[in-house]
Structure 1
């Protein structure tokens, strides 16, 4: 329904940002990362997700597309609701979430309040499977995943978690020395290219 809100930050509270768009204040539930980037009285753009359920009508806003994609991916996991997804994205970035999923690091997820070991394991299991299916179904821009190093393949999987297509990932990987860089640096370098 709403793609983004662009307006003045009218109010900031824990997990909530109110964006004034033409005299209407939209209350967006959000993460600590997005809140830290906002300043009351300044202009901001939040990418939004409208969550409609039984007796629930909630608007969620995020500073970046990758944070929004990560949120949508998390709430797609059975047993993970918007509140849990916000908690996970408030203690880490979309990049650290992707790393945790690709490497199977459940401890990185359990630091979020309300996220226990079982939920963390379910998130990793369901999203890792989803990534594996997407990667096997679509070759990396015409190049098989086997043509990439293991680190590059893991980085590609992490970027897929953030919602980037295999074509975007393949283009971003060009010119990056995946053999010598640590996994996080490969992901960061690709994200910088894709954000431009």
Structure 2
């Protein structure tokens, strides 16, 4: 079982990451949200799920344990394959999945390609009571006007560090961006990253930071 990979990003396009691990290139399917945080030539670690089929071996990669846990739960639901499960995580963060389940909101899953009304309802029923305590807490305390999830902040800060900024600068930029961000932008990795980049200005040259 391949549970994690650490290596250099050879390429990342759309939902496919190619990671060089000891001279071997591993093709890993990721969400567009995750892909946005990756840059060619940088080193990264992805948590992985290896899906074995009669005619193929497929790797699906995640930036954190929460996303991997939700993916594992989703593929355990009848009618939900790994591509559909990844599609859910492309649309919803783990906390948003928990919130939808807690609210019995199957509509949140129907907007994912390949998931129909019956399967969406089955996801809600199947995941009830199975999410981690952290997800359950987020679901019970969050609402449409809640602040950005820690996952969104972490992903944006990780992306900024990967681009060359010190962790302190990255965290400060995210804080400043959140001061003016709308609720929608604050809860979206791509939007928040764009705002933080505007705060920081041009990317530092490699090796320029001390």
- TM-score band, normalised by shorter chain: 0.5 to 0.7
Give me the whole-angstrom Cα distance separating, in 1, the residues matched to 2:102 and 2:147. Answer: 14
> Taking structure 2 as the reference length, what is the TM-score of the superposition?
0.63
Say if 1:33 and 1:93, in contact at 8 Å, map to a contact too. no
SS in 2 for 1:84: helix
Give me the whole-angstrom Cα distance separating, in 1, the residues matched to 2:111 and 2:41. Answer: 32
Task: Write out aligned runs for 1:100-115 (5 A).
Answer: 100-115=100-115
SS in 2 for 1:52: strand
Q: State the partner residue of 1:145.
A: none
Unaligned stretches of 5+ residues in structure 1:
132-159
In the TM superposition, what is the alpha-carbon distance from 1:79 to its structure 2 partner?
0.8
Say if 1:32 and 1:91, in contact at 8 Å, map to a contact too. no
Structure 1 residues 86-123: Cα deviation after superposition (integer angstroms, max 9, x where no partner): 11110111111111111111111112122221111010
Structure 1 residues 49-70: Cα deviation after superposition (integer angstroms, max 9, x where no partner): 1111222311111111111111
Structure 1 residues 120-170: Cα deviation after superposition (integer angstroms, max 9, x where no partner): 101001111xx1xxxxxxxxxxxxxxxxxxxxxxxxxxxx51xx3x5xx5x
Give me the whole-angstrom Cα distance separating, in 2, the residues matched to 1:188 and 1:67. Answer: 13
Give me the whole-angstrom Cα distance separating, in 2, the residues matched to 1:114 and 1:13. Answer: 22
State the Cα RMSD in Å. Answer: 2.8
Question: Number of residue pairs matched?
Answer: 150
> Taking structure 1 as the reference length, what is the TM-score of the superposition?
0.68
Give me the whole-angstrom Cα distance separating, in 1, the residues matched to 2:101 and 2:74. Answer: 11
Say if 1:12 and 1:35, in contact at 8 Å, map to a contact too. yes
Q: Which runs of 4+ in 1 moved over 3 A?
A: 181-189
Q: State the partner residue of 1:43.
A: 43
Say if 1:95 and 1:187, in contact at 8 Å, map to a contact too. no
